[in-house]
Structure 1
């Protein structure tokens, strides 16, 4: 079989040909709180390449974005809508399988007051304000707006078969080009399958056939599908999407990239009511841990029953249990939980560390889990009404804590603060080690609940809000906000079933292991550990003191405006083969340069007023030395020095009308805005390095790591596959201060290199210590403020000097595959020697801070490293 579309674009990506700037019309018009994640940027880069450069692409593209649950497919939809508007599309048909998803989608697309609104308060494309509207039909809609018709697949089919007045009809799709956007698109494949279930047989007459008919009505229509669960193992479906999958981002990759919670399976040999109580205590524990760290997190529990009748009974049982809570009941639960580390930690934190009396804790739980904060979603009609409320569970004014459900929340539920799922039944449907349908649905629900709850960690203010932060410190209190607990009965066979299902979906990592790395006692007891310091810099706001014009941001002052319309007419035979006939209106077009400032101050002022970026308060942010808006217009350093080349007929260029001058000015301003934003940085790294006690930064730590290649393999236990390491007993090397190494092959090669230098180093230095930096310290790039955690810090104390001279070196082993995106780190490391300033004075001690080129066991990189190590360490 030929290469798939995804494989073809993967091949192009290997040569770096997909890398491009995402247009400002996309990034500037998404909601302020949305920062595109790297994989979303990748998806957009693939889209831009496909639309602009892919050879022989059809005029009517049909594409699938196969992306993990929780990866932000609606953000990508919003970005694509903005880009397609830029390309001339105005009408969008958004359709899903389930009516309950429609209302929450409308909220996301249309309601600026919604916390999950996708667009900026004002959408501005090509300098013009653009409205986003929900429409019932595309007839007579605004040609300047984004017009979206929201519907279900079933409702769309019904309207196509029985048209009504003021509703979308098949004629709409003949007369207007439309972008069709299908969410949860796996439902479109009922007709593709050779064998159908009874439900799929009912769908066959509508879903896929109707969508195909609409798609074919106009030669420029597009069909963009989004799903996390298309069945590519099905031969017919795989063939259908062979040339349509533009981007495949699996749930496994999503989890490995750190964008999901970790799954913890909690099995308890207890009746359902007591499992519910355990979940309540853990839910409140999360809320309190968050509060202590100045975070708002209202943890939500999902109570899952097998039938609607049982769900109602369980809800009644829950209400009775909460109403009857007492100090004695909580004390009894604590006593019974001594072997349960998680639950014991919860009680210890709440009752011991926070000093809460059991009776007060019982009263608090009665209030926080009262019946008005519990909802049952098993009624489909009621669910549609509640969909917006369920889509806003993270809001501060939404106090729902518990949801009782059977299977109404399996799709389209975007909840981030779900931390506990309690399975209130004990049956299983797995057979012969095969995952049953119910178990797979449970695993998919877990995957939906595993969406990460974003927060700013107080101890890691620069860490990405949307990614896990404590894989390298799983004993940190905030780790509880990075875990989803799935509570079920003690049933080993079921646990194996659900593990298999989670493994298939990509949510369970068989290669993960939790290890504790400890500082050796000899180092902990040393005076070096107890009294010496590590020097690091800080990140501060960029004051832009040196910014004195456009050129500071590398903005060129000469622009080329797209040609003016000439009025030229071109004729050719409709059937091809005929000679082109041109009917020119006069002379050939020419180019002419204009100084922008000569267009009149009123035109420039009007154009600047129309674009918020050029309002003076914002300009002052980027250009602190600017005296006023007039300075920006008249000064040679700003618009006064800007020249624009305009191509058109001589007669038109001789006397440009004011409207054309305004259009040219807006074009130039948009180009300047993009250039400034690309080059401007909000933060910089300080050149002043400050001291912090080593004992405050480097401690024992427990981390969760993936066994991937050499990474995760213990050196001390003989698991390493790096040749020659078995000859080195790391446990007796006092200079290696941690008791083991689980690092990459390059990290272990570097430790081996240090072992080989031991004799020389001992001849020059009284002490030397190598510390693995596991989020203990960060450095910040001088120019951009980007955070960087070097893998190792090497300390050396020189011999035979009156003052204690201490060298501190930051070292980063680096595999070749990571070099392209990380070369800036090497540049920064090599700048430290010249730029770092150590202004704090310690009597009797002299410090030097250095950075070395990347270490790599082979190639030129290591030649550079060894030369620098020889010069700055061995011969220093």
Structure 2
């Protein structure tokens, strides 16, 4: 079989052929709360290449975005709607498998007051305001609006087969080009999986057949499908999507990139009520940890039953348990949890550190988990009514803490603060090591619950809100906000089943291991550890002190308007009192330069007023020396020095209409805005370095590591040649007991071992410390954070004042060099530009950065040369 579409684009991406700046029509019109993630940008880059440059694109594209649960497919849908609008599409058909999802989808697309609204408060495309509205039919809709018809697959099929007045019909799709957007699109393959009779194949009056029939009605229709779970193991489905999967972003990659919670399977040989109580205690523990760190988090528990009757019984049992909860019951649960590290930590934090007595804790739980904060969603009618409430569980005024369900929330549930799923039954359907249908559905529900709860980490203010932050600090209290606990009974066979299912879906990494990285006792007793300092810089808002004009952002002031003046323009604008039609001329087109300022203050002011970026308060952010909006318009350093080349017929260029001048001005302003935003830097790294006690920064760590090549393997397990000849535990200069780093990190430690004798001739002592979130530096030019892999401390001999050198060292594999070269450039700047109090508390400090270490090639030559000079004084 030939390369699939996804494989073709993977190959193009490898050589950088897909990289492009996303259009402002997309980025400026999404909600200000939305910052596109790298993989979402990748999906959009592929889309733009496919639409604009891909030779194999059919006139009516049918594409699938196969993307992980929780990866923000609806954000991508919104971005594509904006891009398709600028390409002339106005009508969109959005359909999903289940009607119960429709209301929350409308809320996300249409309600600006919703916390999950997808669009900017005012959508502007081609400098016009664009409405987004729901419609029942595409007949007589607003031709300048984004018109969306929301429906379920069942409802769509019924409308096509049983048409009614004032509803969308098959004729709508003959008369108007429509973009069809299918969420949870794997349901469209119901018939693809089946072997049909000749009659069935001809009629095919099915959901899949209905969608295909609509798609064929207009030559410019599009069908865009989105799902996380298309069954590509099925031969017919794999063949169907061979040339349609534009982007494949798996749940496994999503988890490895840090965008999901980690899953912890908790099995307890306890009855359902006791498991519910455990989950309640852990949920409250999460809430208290978040509050202690200034974070708002209201954790939610899902109680999963097998049948509706059992769910109702379990809800009643939970209510009775909470109502009768006592301090004695909690004390008993704590006493029985001695072997449960997580639950013991929760009780210790709440009752010991926070000083909450058993009776007070019981009363608190009764208030937080009372009946009014519990909901059962097994009634379909009730569930549809509650969709918006269930889609806003993170909101401060939404007090739901517990949800009882059977299987009504398996799809379309976008919840971020679900941290506990309690399985209240003990059956399994796995056979002969094969995952059963029910177990796979449970794994998919776990994947939905594993959506990450975004938060700003107080100790990592620059870390991404939406990514895990504590894989390398498993003992940090906030790690509990990065885990989803799946509570089930003690059943080893079921645990194996659910592990297999999670492994298949990509949510469980069997190569992950938790390790303890301990500082050697001998190092902890040294004077360097007890009394010396590590020097680091900080970052601050870019003051833009040197910005005095457009050239500071590499904007040269000359532009070329891309549109040819045709000679026929009808004008009816804010700048004219009537209409003017210019007749064509037989003369050849020429180019003419115009000073933008010559178009007049009225034109320039109108264009600037229509764009928030050019309002004075916004301009002052990027141009702090700007005194007034008038200066921006008239000064040669700003718009006064801008010229634009326009090509057209001589007579037309001599008599540009106000509408044309406005279009040209808006184009130039758009180019300036894009250039400023592209070159602007929000933060810079300070050049003043400050001291921090080594003992406060470097501590014992608990890490979660993926075994990938050498990474995650201990020194004794390493396959790097020659390491077995080095007893790392006996090397006092290596501060930590072990090394779990990459092959290059281990090669570097071996290099240090080979230099030991020479270093001891020069220094009283030297210590190499692996940097696990202990030291963070900030690039001087852009403020980007950088955590060098190692810090080497060298203390010189024979000095009246102890002289301490601090070297930042980064071993780097060749595959990471291109995107990380800025780090090497920054390390080179440290020696020259870093400022510190060189004599501090009787010590003379020097800080240096060295070139990347790599065992082979030029990188190794550069590193060794620098090490000889800076460390060995050669």
**Structure 1 length normalisation: TM-score?**
0.96
Helix, strand or coil for the counterpart of 1:375? strand
1:572 paired residue number: none
Give the direction of change, closer, same or farther, for the CA distance of 1:196–1:420 in structure 2 (3 Å limit).
Answer: farther
Alpha-carbon distance in 1 for matches of 2:448, 2:563: 50
Q: Does 1:224 align with 2:224?
A: yes
Deviations 1:269-313 (A, max 9, x none): 111111111111110010001000111110000000000011111
Residue equivalent to 1:427 = 427
Q: Does 1:394 align with 2:394?
A: yes
TM-score (normalised: structure 2) = 0.97
Q: Distance in 2 between matches of 1:2 and 1:266?
A: 45
SS of alignment partner, residue 840 of structure 2? coil
1:723 to 721, 744, 749: 721
Q: Residues 474-485 of structure 1: matches in 2 within 5 Å? A: 474-485=474-485
Match of 1:805 in 2: 803
Q: Could you say what secondary structure the match of 2:515 adopts?
A: strand
CA gap of 1:38–1:691, structure 2 versus 1, over 3 A, is same
> Separation in 2 of the partners of 1:86 and 1:514?
50
Could you tell me whether the CA contact under 8 Å between 1:19 and 1:45 is conserved in 2? Answer: yes
TM-fit CA distance, 1:217: 1.3
Partner of 2:847: 849
Q: Which residue of 2 aligns with 1:829?
A: 827
| Cross-structure match for 1:516 | 516
Aligned to 1:448: 448
Equivalent-residue separation in structure 1 for 2:592 and 2:141 (angstroms): 39
Deviations 1:428-478 (A, max 9, x none): 111111111111110110010011111111111111111111111111111
- Shift of residue 847 of structure 1? 0.9
Q: Residue 575 of structure 1 corresponds to which residue in structure 2?
A: none
Name stretches of at least 5 consecutive residues in structure 2 with no aligned partner: 570-582
CA distance in 1, matches of 2:857, 2:88: 50
Distance 1:850 1:714 in 2: 29
Would the alpha carbon gap of residues 204 and 785 (structure 1) be closer, same or farther in structure 2, given more than 3 Å must change? farther
**What secondary structure is seen at the aligned counterpart in 2 of 1:874?**
coil
Change (3 A) 1:204 1:287: farther
Q: Which residue of 1 aligns with 2:580?
A: none
1:620-668 per-position Cα deviation (integer Å, ceiling 9, x unaligned) = 1111100100000000000000000111111110110111111111111
Is 1:562 the counterpart of 2:565? The answer is: no
Q: Supply the distance in 2 between the matched residues of 1:450 and 1:727 (Cα, whole angstroms).
A: 44
- 1:736-775, aligned counterparts within 5 Å? 736-775=734-773
Q: How far apart are 1:591 and its partner, in Å?
A: 1.0
Q: Equivalent residue for 1:672?
A: 672
Matches within 5 A, 1:6-45: 6-45=6-45
Partner Cα distance (2:140, 2:346) in 1: 60
Instruction: Judge conservation of contact 1:170–1:214 (CA < 8 Å) in 2.
Output: yes
1:839 deviates by 3.1
Shift of residue 873 of structure 1?
1.4
Partner of 1:86: 86
| Counterpart for residue 117 of structure 2 | 117
Corresponding residue of 1:289: 289
SS at match of 2:129: strand
SS in 2 for 1:749: helix
1:627 aligns with 2:627: yes
Residues 367-421 of structure 1, C-alpha deviations (whole Å, 9 max, x = no match)? 1000010000001111010010000000000000000000000000000000000
Shift of 1:841: 4.1
SS at match of 1:656: coil
Secondary structure at 2:173's aligned position in 1?
helix
How far residue 53 of structure 1 moved from its aligned partner, in angstroms, is 1.3
Q: Residue 530 of structure 2 aligns with which residue?
A: 530
The equivalent of 1:350 in structure 2 is 350
CA distance in 2, matches of 1:5, 1:414: 29
User: Counterparts of 1:224 and 1:853 in 2: how far apart (Å)?
Assistant: 47
**After superposition, where does 1:313-712 map in structure 2 within 5 Å?**
313-566=313-566, 585-712=585-712
Matched, 1:786 2:784: yes
- 2:567·2:652 contact (CA, 8 Å) conserved in 1? no
Mapped contact 2:293–2:458 kept (Cα < 8 A): yes
CA RMSD of aligned residues (A): 1.6
- Contact 1:154-1:206 within 8 A present in 2 as well: no
How far the C-alpha of 1:565 sits from its partner, in A, is: 4.3
Residue 119 (structure 1) shift: 1.0
* Contact preservation (8 Å) 2:59, 2:219: yes
| Counterpart contact for 1:190–1:196, Cα < 8 Å | no
SS at the partner of 2:439?
A: helix
Measured against aligned partners, the alpha-carbon deviations of 1:735-764 in whole angstroms (never above 9, x if no partner) come to 110000000001101111111111111111
Shift of 1:165: 2.2
Residue pair 2:567, 2:649 contacting (<8 A) in 1 also: no
| Aligned residue number for residue 815 of structure 1 | 813
Secondary structure of the 1:278 match is helix
**How many pairs align?**
858
Q: Which residue of 2 aligns with 1:577?
A: none
Runs of 4+ that moved beyond 6 A: none
Q: CA deviation at 1:126?
A: 2.2
The answer to whether the 8 Å contact 1:190/1:204 transfers is: no
Query: Contact between 2:191 and 2:206, CA under 8 Å: does it hold in 1?
Result: no
Cα deviations by residue, 1:157-188 (Å, 9 ceiling, x for unpaired): 11112222221122221121111111000001
Note closer, same or farther for the CA distance 1:257–1:303 as it changes in structure 2 (3 Å cut): same
Tell me if the contact between 1:375 and 1:404 (Cα under 8 Å) persists in the aligned partners.
yes
